[in-house]
Structures are given as structure tokens and as C-alpha cells.
Amino acid sequence: MRELGCDGVPKPFERVVRANIGDCHALGQKPITFIRQVQALAACPALASSAAVPEDVRQRAQEILDDCTKSSVGAYSPSAGLQVVRARVAQFLSARDGVRACADDIYLGSGASDVIKAVLTMFVQDVDGKPPAVMIPIPQYPLFSGTLAELGLRQAEYFLAEEQQWALDVDELQRCWSRASQDCAVRALVVINPGNPTGQVLTRENMEQIVKFAYEHNLFLLADEVYQENIVSKPFFSFKKVMHEMGAPYSSMELASFVTCSKGWAAECGQRAGFVELRAAAAAPAFRVARAVMQCPNVLGQCILDCVMQRPAPGDPSYPQFAQELSDIRQVLAERTQTAYETFNSIPGYFCNPIDGSMFAYPRVSIPEAAQAAARELHMSPDEFYCLRLLEETGVCVIPGTGFGQLPGTFHFRTTILHPRDEFQHMMDSIRRFHHDFLQRYS
């Protein structure tokens, strides 16, 4: 699709707008200076004598290097990650949840993808002759379906309730579980909160229902909480906090929760840094062995995680610049989220739930019967047809709902919303105009 603009044939648009990938830096967000300075000094400590960097940057880099064997980021770290970083993660989680987190439960990875795959690998064994299955939401982030397929795990799909702001409906969870249980052993439940592609933040009440459901069905809960720092207006409750506050027996349930530096304000996708907090006493030893085979996550990525877990504080030399950069990023997120929500709902035939967080919108689009027929002719789903036309006519590249899943008969696409203001406005205008023309053509 990206090559569409480059084949020499004149196009009815000036440029391709890539709205297909959740990568803030690729959309022009500037890296956080503090993070990059710490990384640079950790890579090349000799620069400290010649480069203009604040004192807290030097200190932070030194603290990390002190925990590297022979002070080199080129030495393997422990396979779960540097102790100093894991301690900082534990502090962050403790402060976030008001529940003590333990550094021994933290395993750093090469992005969240790496540790998500590692945790899913825990479930590959048959149970009493039944093949294992994992419950995942529809729509979902395709890492889950892709990894389950690669690992030979069955995928049990539950639909998010679009009419209830993409909540998890317990009857639907039950339906999914019962059906999958006919021929599989359902081992785990994946919840993505805040949602990708859906952008909702679950209510606390809904989270409690989910925890109870998982408890009753003896499911291991995988909480993909990578967008927790991308929330605009609601508070974020982690599953760990909710479980803890629900008390026994829920407070001691098994749980894997995922965080990544690819998201949030750092948005350092290319640097591959994330972690899982794994509360699973029985499974931990085998998990540790499997992680050790792969050596360790990249140490400069671990530096970023360290910076994200403990940011510059008021009074630190780096604080003023950091605070400014952070507030700029937050403002962009708040603005785009609001504008996307309003714009999509103002287009006839579009429906979009409130976007609580993440960096996506996932509007539902009604596609006229004539267009659906045209799609069938081309052996495409209607949403694929719609998105391809959108790309060909406007240069706006979004992902059809088919890529994430949707209730049969409904059509969606996912767009990232973090473009610079002009680009974003151009994209919104293009979509509106395109949809208007599309309706005219096919009705």
C-alpha cells in the first residue's frame, strides 16, 4: 500500500498519509531529550566530558552503568534485566497501584511483544488430551492472533460490546468460554485495556466482573495495559490494583501485566523495551529458564525503561525541559482524541465511541449495499474495499476492520490520530469528502 504513491501513475492526491501504524515518532513526535541523553551517555560515557548535558543525566547514566558488568552496556545483563531497572519498575508499580510490587516478578523484554509471546508460550501444552485455547477480544491487536497461530494455540474469540463503549460483556465471555470448552482446555484470558484498536478504558465495575469470571473459570489473566499512559481523561486502574482491592480470593490470582516504552509519552517503538509483571509462582521457574536461553533484552532499551519508570522530578536540572515536552505530547493526544471523536460522529453513516485513550480511533462505517456488492466482485470484504478506495482517492492509509476483527455485518477501520495538527486536519477532511463521494456513488 505504501508504494501506491510511487508507481509513476498520477494520483488524485498530493501525498500518502500513513495512519496505519501506532508509531508516534514515525508521525513526527519528538523524542524526550532526557531519555536520549541518558542513552547517549550510557553508550559512550566518554562523551560526558565534552558534551553539554545536565547533571541529572550524568547521574542517571552512571547509576545504570554501575549495575552493568564492568560498566558496559555491551555486557549481557541478567536475563530478566538489570537489577537497578527492575527495582525502579517495582517502585513505579507500587506507587501506581498502592500495592507492593516485587522486582523478582519483573521480566524485561524486547518490547512488550517479546514478553507477550513468552507468556503465551507457557500455555502450549495439552490439558487432559484437550488442546489449549486462549480467549482474546474481537477486535484485537493482531500480535495475539498471530502469536497464537504460530504457537499452535487455539484462539477463542469474544466480541467487545460496541454498544456499551467496547466493554467486556460477561454473557459474551461465558458464551465464548462454553463454546471453546467443548473441545479445548481454555487456559487464559487476554484483555487489552486501554483497547487497541478500540481506544476504550474499562470501567472499574467491568474489570471486577472480568476478574470474577477469570477466577470462576480458572483462567490465567493476561492484561495488556501498554496504553496506560495514553489516557486522556479517565483514571487508569491496573488489573493488579483491582484484584488486590477486591481482596481474597481474587487478590492472589495469577496475572501477567504488560507495559512497553513503545507507547506512553516515550513512544520509543524502535528501541524495543518493555516488561511483564508476572505473578505466577508455579510457572515462574520454567519461565525464567526459557527467558535465560535468549540471553537478555538490549541494555540501551533497558535504560529507556529506567527513565520512563522514574522521570525527572521538579528541582532536577532536566525537569523544565522534560515537563514542557511531556505537556506538549499530552496536549496533542487530548486534542486529536477529541477532534477525531467529534469529526467521525459528524459524518453521516459513521459511529465512533468516545476515545478514552490509546492513540487510535476505530469508527464504524455503514457501507451501502451496492458498495458491498462491488467489493464481493473483487473478492474483498466491504471494509477492505472501502479502505482501498480511500487510499487510492485520498492517499490516506488506514487499516480495515478485517485486520482486527469485528462483529459480522459491521464495518470499521482503524486510524492513528497522532499526526501533526495540519496533517491530521487534512486527513479528517479527506475522509469526510471521500465518504460523501462514496455514498453518492454507491446509493
Ligand X SMILES: Cc1ncc(COP(=O)(O)O)c(C=O)c1O
Task: Give the shortest CB-222-to-ligand X separation in angstroms.
Answer: 10
Q: Which does 180 bind (CB under 5 to 8 A by kind): its own copies, ligand X, none?
A: none
Task: Give the shortest CB-406-to-its own copies separation in angstroms.
Answer: 20
Among 226, 329, 397, 399, the residue binding ligand X under the rule CB under 6 A is 226
Q: Which does 51 bind (CB under 5 to 8 A by kind): its own copies, ligand X, none?
A: its own copies
Under DSSP, the state recorded for 77 is P
Q: Give strand ranges (E) for 124-210.
A: 132-138, 154-159, 185-192
Stretch that binds its own copies, among 67-75, 192-200, 367-375, 422-430 (CB under 8 A): 67-75
Q: Which residue is nearest to ligand X (CB)?
A: 111
Pick between residue 196 and residue 206 the one whose CB is nearest to ligand X.
196
Task: Give the shortest CB-342-to-its own copies separation in angstroms.
Answer: 27
Alpha-carbon distance of 287 to 124, in angstroms, equals 13
Q: Which of residues 379-438 bind ligand X (CB under 6 A)?
A: none
Under DSSP, the state recorded for 407 is -
Q: Is 298 in the site for its own copies (CB under 8 A)?
A: yes
Task: Give the shortest CB-343-to-ligand X separation in angstroms.
Answer: 23
Cell numbers 466491504 correspond to what residue? 382
Residue pair 13/395 in contact (Cβ under 8 Å)? The answer is yes
Q: Is 320 in the site for its own copies (CB under 8 A)?
A: no
Beta bridge partners of 292: none
Q: Which does 152 bind (CB under 5 to 8 A by kind): ligand X, its own copies, none?
A: its own copies
Beta bridge partners of 106: 277
For 137, other C-beta atoms within 10 Å of its C-beta total: 27
Stretch that binds ligand X, among 109-117, 328-336, 375-383, 395-403 (CB under 6 A): 109-117
- In 347-409, which residue ranges form alpha helices assigned H by DSSP? 369-377, 382-394
Among 21, 281, 313, 370, the residue binding its own copies under the rule CB under 8 A is 21
How many helices (H) does the chain have, and how many strands (E)? Answer: 14, 14
Pick between residue 270 and residue 320 the one whose CB is nearest to its own copies.
270
- In 52-142, which residue ranges form alpha helices assigned H by DSSP? 55-67, 83-97, 111-121
3-state secondary structure of 168: coil
Q: Which of residues 270-299 bind ligand X (CB under 6 A)?
A: 274, 295
For 323, other C-beta atoms within 10 Å of its C-beta total: 14
Pick between residue 260 and residue 406 the one whose CB is nearest to ligand X.
260
Q: Which does 37 bind (CB under 5 to 8 A by kind): its own copies, ligand X, none?
A: its own copies
Among 17, 19, 22, 191, the residue binding ligand X under the rule CB under 6 A is 22
Q: Which of residues 74-133 bind its own copies (CB under 8 A)?
A: 74-77, 110-111, 113-114, 117, 121, 124
Q: 91-110 burial, b for 16+ CB within 10 Å, e for fewer? A: ebbeebbeeebebebbbbbb
Alpha-carbon distance of 168 to 231, in angstroms, equals 19
Q: Are strands 220-224 and 185-192 parallel, antiparallel or unpaired?
A: parallel
Task: Give the shortest CB-360-to-its own copies separation in angstroms.
Answer: 16
Residues in the site for ligand X, rule: CB under 6 A? 22, 111-113, 141, 143, 192, 196, 224, 226, 260, 262, 269, 274, 295
